[in-house]
């Protein structure tokens, strides 16, 4: 098992994993997510080309079984927020057939290393409230609640 930077040639595997994640999100929160589609391909290719973003894949025997994306942001306009560099995890996904095998931990460890090398002082991510397994995973890694996003339909 290894982790490396994603390449454009990985797009079919990235799209497969993105569809897995997208379907779980659509099934549990259709008010926020659309059904997965091949329209995601352009988004993923754009993310691969973005130099400010890290895009890592986990491989087992040449098969891509997970990926993580992240980028560094810095508040430069809101005076009451800290302005130190923050690593923001965009997406992490592990193939359904490989969950529980340490792939997510390895991806997040590499993301941590990248964040440190970029001078980040914090790592932040968003987890949907229905995704209790992911929330438990992040808490095991030391993440804590910082805020909650609330929503309601306009009536």
In a domain, 151, yes or no: no
The answer to whether 76 touches 26, Cβ cutoff 8 Å, is no
Per-residue pLDDT of 62-102, as tens digits, reads: 999 999 999 999 888 898 888 899 999 999 999 999 999 99
The 3-state DSSP class for residue 125 equals coil
CATH classification of the domain holding 133: 3.40.630.30
In a domain, 16, yes or no: yes
Q: Say what the pLDDT of residue 128 is.
A: 95
DSSP 101: S
How many domains does the structure of the chain reveal? Answer: 1
Helices (H), the chain: 11-28, 40-49, 103-117, 132-140
Q: Quick one: average pLDDT of 5-34? A: 96
Q: Say what the pLDDT of residue 155 is.
A: 92
In a domain, 44, yes or no: yes
pLDDT tier at 1 (50, 70, 90 boundaries)?
confident
In a domain, 116, yes or no: yes
pLDDT of residue 38 exceeding 90: no
In a domain, 150, yes or no: no
Q: Say what the pLDDT of residue 40 is.
A: 94
Share of the chain above pLDDT 70, in %: 100
In sequence order, the β-bridge partners of residue 32 are: none
Q: Which helix (H) or strand (E) holds 55?
A: strand 53-60
Q: How many CB atoms lie within 10 A of CB 56?
A: 20
In a domain, 149, yes or no: no
C-alpha R_g of the chain? 16
In a domain, 84, yes or no: yes
Share of the chain above pLDDT 90, in %: 88
Note down the domain range covering 100: 2-140
Q: How far apart are the first and last CA of the chain?
A: 50
The 3-state DSSP class for residue 4 equals strand
In a domain, 147, yes or no: no
The 3-state DSSP class for residue 38 equals coil
């Amino acid at each position: 098992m290894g982790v490396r930077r994603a390449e454009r040639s990985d797009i079919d595997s990235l799209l497969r994993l993105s569809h897995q994640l997208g379907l779980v999100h659509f099934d549990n929160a259709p008010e926020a997510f659309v059904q997965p589609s091949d329209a995601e391909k352009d988004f993923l290719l754009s993310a691969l080309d973005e130099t400010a973003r890290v895009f890592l894949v986990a491989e087992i025997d040449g098969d891509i079984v997970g990926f993580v994306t992240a980028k560094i942001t810095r508040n430069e306009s809101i005076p009451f927020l800290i302005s130190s560099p923050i690593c923001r995890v965009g997406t992490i996904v592990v193939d359904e057939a490989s969950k529980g095998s340490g792939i997510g931990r390895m991806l997040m460890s590499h993301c941590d290393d990248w964040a440190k090398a970029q001078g980040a002082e914090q790592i932040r991510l968003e987890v949907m409230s229905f995704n209790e397994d992911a929330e438990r995973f992040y808490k095991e890694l030391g993440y804590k609640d910082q805020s909650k996003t609330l929503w309601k339909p306009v009536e």
